[in-house]
Amino acid sequence: MPDKIDIQNVNTPGKTTRVNAAKYTAMKAAMLKTMPQTAPGNTAREIKEAAKPHLPQALFPAGATSGWWQKTVQLDLEAKGVVKRSETKPLRFYLA
């Protein structure tokens, strides 16, 4: 696996950012395992908390930085059409 991968952001179409591949992949796997498949979905906080037990401690000791990575992966997966958002308050997300 490469050290870095390019990701997208639904809020800035056409722009990519390079991030740590291992952390991105671990968070993505945890989110895909725990996110609901139907609307309205879960809040970002609920997604982060559900994903934490599935994250490797070596990369996320005691869940460190999991909130940042959850948001990064969510925005990338939205840009790729894997995750959708419900226009609720607070926002909720689910698998497409």
CA 2 to each of CA 5, 33, 64, 82, 86: distance values in angstroms, whole numbers, following the listed order:
7, 23, 22, 22, 33
> In this predicted model, what pLDDT tens digit does every residue of 36-56 receive, in sequence order?
999 999 999 999 999 999 999
- Domain positions in the chain are 4-95
Radius of gyration of the chain measured on its C-alpha atoms: 13
From the centroid of its chain, how far is CA 31? Answer: 6
- What CATH number does the domain located at 4-95 have? 1.10.10
Q: Residue 37: exposed, middle, or buried by beta-carbon count in 10 A (0-12, 13-18, 19+)?
A: exposed
What CA–CA distance (Å, rounded) separates 91 from 47? 12
| Range 28-37 average pLDDT | 98
pLDDT band at 2 (very low <50, low <70, confident <90, very high): confident
Percentage above 70 pLDDT, the chain: 99
Mean of per-residue pLDDT scores for the chain: 96
pTM of the model: 0.94
